[in-house]
C-alpha cells in the first residue's frame, strides 16, 4: 500500500529535478517544488545543502537522504533528497512526501533517530574524506596554475641577470630573485602538506654544502627584517663538517620555518641558530640544530599543542601570506628525515627549538673543468618544443640563444603542428608539457610512442610541467615520457636534464 502511494505521488509530479555542477552551482532546474536560480550555489538556498556540496566530487553511487525539512522562500516541505551521477552529470532529485511523512510522523521519527545514531560516524568519516580529497585537489590545481607563470617570471629574471646592469639594478634584481625563490618554496610547502597527509612524500639522498644553506638563510632574513629591531646570529662549532649527503631541500624548509616562526614572535632582541655535529660510526653524523629567540614565549598550556595541526597558529593569530606554513610541517619533515624535535619556552623570555637530524658525511671534491679535445666543430643537437603561448615561446628562444651546448630549437604552435614537424625533420629530443588546446599531453606522447617509424617512436621525451603531483608524473612516465622536469626550473636545471637525455 505504501509503495502504491509513493508511486502515485511521483506520477503526480511531486518531484523536482536539479542539475548541479561538481562544486554545487545550479545548472538547470524544473522548479517543480522550490525556486532554484541558475548560477547560484545550492549552499545559499538552505544549510542542508552545505553537506551535500562536499559529497559531489567523490560521488560514486546514489545517496538518499530521507525525511528532510526544507523551507525555501516560504515554501516548507518534508522531502526525500536523492543525490546521483548520470553520464558525468550531477543531479538532485527532491521528492515531496510531506503528506506521507506527516501521516506517519511517529514511526518516521523513530526510524530516523535510529538511522542517524547508526550511521553518524560513517557519514562524518565520508564527509571528512570528501573534504580532504577536495583540499588535495585544490592544492594540486593551485600549485600547477601558479608554477607556470612563476616559471616564466624566474626564467626572464635569470635572463635579465645575464645582461649588463648597474649596481643598483643588480641589487634590485637580487631581491626579486630571492622573492621568487621564496614563493617557489611556499608552493613546495603547500604541496608537501598534501603529500605528508597522503603518505607519499619522498626524501632525496644527494650531496650538499651546509654552508650554502646557512648563507642563503642569513641573507634572506637579514634582508627581510633589516628594518626591525631583531638581529640574526648563526653560530657553528669549530671544525664543523662542510659537506653531507641527505635532503638539503627538506633541511632548508625546516630551518626556514623555525627561523620565520622565531622572527614573527620576537619584537626586539635576537634570533639565534646554533649548529653542532655529533659524529657517529659508519661515516654518519647527528647534526644538532638549535633555534632560539628572545620573543613572547609560549605558555605551559599551549606548548604541547604547537605541533598538533596546521590550523593551530592560524586560529590564534592571522598572519599575512608569505609567512611560512607552520610548525606541523616542520615536525612531519623532521620525522621524514628520521630525526626528532623538542621545544622549551618561558613566557616573556623566549622559545628554543632543538632538533637532531642524521646525515651522511661526505668529503668535498673540487670538480676540475676540462675542455674536450677535438676539431673544435660543435655538432648541433635539435630539440622540438610544443608551446602555444607567446610568452613561453619567447622565454625558450632567449634561453637557448647562443647556448654553449649546441642546442638548436624549433617550436610548434600546437600538438597537431608538432606531429607534422616530426614527420619532416630529424630531432634529438622532444620537449612537451601537460596539455595543449588541441590535444592532451599524454595522448600526444602515446601517438609518438606508437609511431610506425622507430626513429620517431624512440626519441627521448622530456615533460616540463607545473604539476608536481606524483600521480600525474607517473601517468606521464607510464604513457612513455622519458623524464619529468617540474616547474619552475632554472636554465641550468633545464640544460642538465637535456644533457642526460641527448646522447
Q: What is the pLDDT of residues 288-310, one digit of tens each?
A: 999 999 998 888 877 877 776 54
Cα dihedral 41, 46, 51, 52 in deg (nearest 10)? -60
User: For residues 467 and 144, is the Cβ–Cβ distance under 8 A?
Assistant: yes
Mean pLDDT check: name the lowest of 219-223, 237-241, 331-335: 219-223
- Give the β-pairing of 75-86 and 89-96: antiparallel
pLDDT-derived band at 7 (thresholds 50, 70, 90) equals very low
Burial grade of 326 (CB within 10 A; 0-12, 13-18, 19 or more): buried
Length of the chain: 503
The fold adopted by the segment(s) 207-361 is Heat Shock Protein 90 (3.30.565)
Q: For the domain covering 381-501, report its CATH number.
A: 3.40.50.2300
**Most confident stretch, 213-217, 279-283, 373-377, 415-419:** 415-419
Q: What is the pLDDT of residues 251-274, one digit of tens each?
A: 988 998 899 889 988 999 999 999
Instruction: State the average pLDDT over residues 120-128.
Output: 67
Task: Give me the pLDDT at residue 379, please.
Answer: 66
Q: What is the pLDDT of residues 45-96, one digit of tens each?
A: 888 888 788 788 888 788 888 888 888 888 888 888 888 887 788 888 888 8
Residue 288 in grid coordinates: 644538532
Task: Give me the pLDDT at residue 76, please.
Answer: 85
Burial grade of 66 (CB within 10 A; 0-12, 13-18, 19 or more): middle
Instruction: State the average pLDDT over residues 325-344.
Output: 85
Q: What is the pLDDT of residues 129-148, one digit of tens each?
A: 666 666 666 666 666 677 77
Mutual angle of helices 491-501 and 105-161, in 10-degree steps? 90
HSE of 238 in the Cβ direction (CA atoms, 13 Å)? 0
Mean pLDDT check: name the lowest of 40-49, 101-110, 319-328, 417-426: 319-328
Residue 446 in grid coordinates: 602515446
Domain locations in the chain? 2-103, 207-361, 381-501
Instruction: State the average pLDDT over residues 158-174.
Output: 85
- Is 8 a residue whose pLDDT tops 70? no
What does pLDDT average to over the chain? 80
Residue 244 in grid coordinates: 653531507
Same CATH fold assignment for domains 2-103 and 381-501:
no
**Whole-prediction pTM value?**
0.46
Measured between alpha carbons, how far apart are the two ends of the chain, in Å?
79
> Of 32 and 367, which is predicted with more confidence?
32
> Of 30 and 371, which is predicted with more confidence?
30
Q: Which residue matches cell numbers 538552505? A: 46
3-state secondary structure of 17: strand
The structural architecture, per CATH, of the domain 2-103 is 2-Layer Sandwich (3.30)
Amino acid at each position: 500500500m505504501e509503495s502504491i502511494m509513493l508511486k502515485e505521488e511521483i506520477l503526480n509530479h511531486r518531484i523536482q529535478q536539479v542539475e548541479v555542477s561538481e562544486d554545487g552551482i545550479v545548472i538547470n532546474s524544473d522548479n517543480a517544488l522550490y525556486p532554484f536560480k541558475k548560477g547560484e550555489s545550492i549552499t545559499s538556498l538552505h544549510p542542508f545543502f552545505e553537506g551535500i556540496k562536499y559529497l559531489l566530487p567523490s560521488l560514486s553511487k546514489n545517496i538518499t537522504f530521507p525525511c528532510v525539512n526544507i523551507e525555501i522562500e516560504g515554501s516548507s516541505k518534508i522531502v526525500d533528497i536523492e543525490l546521483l551521477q548520470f553520464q558525468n552529470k550531477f543531479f538532485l532529485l527532491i521528492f515531496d512526501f510531506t503528506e506521507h511523512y506527516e501521516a506517519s510522523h511517529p514511526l518516521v521519527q523513530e526510524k530516523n533517530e535510529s538511522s542517524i545514531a547508526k550511521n553518524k560516524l560513517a557519514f562524518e568519516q565520508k564527509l571528512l574524506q570528501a573534504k580532504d580529497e577536495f583540499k588535495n585537489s585544490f592544492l594540486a590545481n593551485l600549485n600547477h596554475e601558479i608554477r607556470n607563470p612563476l616559471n616564466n617570471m624566474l626564467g626572464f629574471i635569470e635572463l635579465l641577470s645575464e645582461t649588463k646592469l648597474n649596481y643598483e639594478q643588480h641589487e634590485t634584481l637580487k631581491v626579486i630573485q630571492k622573492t621568487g625563490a621564496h614563493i617557489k618554496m611556499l608552493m613546495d610547502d603547500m604541496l608537501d602538506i598534501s603529500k605528508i597527509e597522503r603518505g607519499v612524500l619522498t626524501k632525496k639522498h644527494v650531496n650538499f654544502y651546509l654552508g650554502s644553506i646557512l648563507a642563503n638563510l642569513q641573507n634572506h632574513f637579514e634582508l627581510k627584517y633589516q628594518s626591525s629591531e631583531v638581529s640574526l646570529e648563526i653560530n657553528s662549532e669549530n671544525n664543523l663538517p662542510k659537506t653531507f649527503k641527505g635532503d638539503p631541500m627538506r633541511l632548508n624548509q625546516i630551518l626556514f620555518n623555525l627561523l620565520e616562526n622565531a622572527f614573527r614572535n620576537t619584537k626586539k632582541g635576537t634570533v639565534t641558530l646554533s649548529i653542532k655535529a655529533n659524529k657517529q660510526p659508519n661515516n654518519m653524523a647527528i647534526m644538532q640544530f638549535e633555534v632560539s629567540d628572545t620573543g613572547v614565549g609560549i605558555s605551559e598550556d599551549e606548548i604541547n599543542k604547537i605541533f598538533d595541526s596546521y590550523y593551530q597558529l592560524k586560529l590564534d593569530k592571522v598572519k599575512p601570506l608569505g609567512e611560512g606554513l607552520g610548525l606541523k610541517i616542520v615536525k612531519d619533515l623532521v620525522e621524514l628525515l628520521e630525526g626528532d624535535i623538542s621545544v622549551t619556552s618561558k613566557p616573556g623570555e623566549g622559545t628554543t627549538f632543538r632538533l637532531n637530524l642524521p646525515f651522511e658525511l661526505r668529503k668535498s671534491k673540487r670538480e676540475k673543468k676540462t675542455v674536450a679535445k677535438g676539431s673544435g666543430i660543435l655538432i648541433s643537437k635539435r630539440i622540438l618544443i610544443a608551446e602555444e603561448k607567446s610568452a613561453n615561446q619567447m622565454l625558450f628562444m632567449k634561453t637557448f640563444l647562443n647556448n654553449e651546448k649546441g642546442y638548436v630549437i624549433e617550436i610548434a604552435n600546437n600538438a597537431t603542428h608538432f606531429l607534422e614537424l616530426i614527420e619532416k625533420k630529424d630531432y634529438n629530443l622532444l620537449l612537451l608539457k601537460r596539455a595543449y588546446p588541441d590535444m592532451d599531453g599524454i595522448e600526444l606522447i602515446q601517438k609518438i610512442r606508437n609511431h610506425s617509424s622507430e626513429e620517431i617512436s624512440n626519441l627521448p621525451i622530456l615533460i616540463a610541467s607545473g604539476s608536481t603531483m606524483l600521480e600525474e608524473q607517473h601517468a606521464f612516465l607510464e604513457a612513455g615520457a622519458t623524464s619529468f622536469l617540474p616547474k619552475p626550473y632554472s636554465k641550468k636545471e633545464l640544460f642538465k636534464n637535456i644533457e642526460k637525455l641527448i646522447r
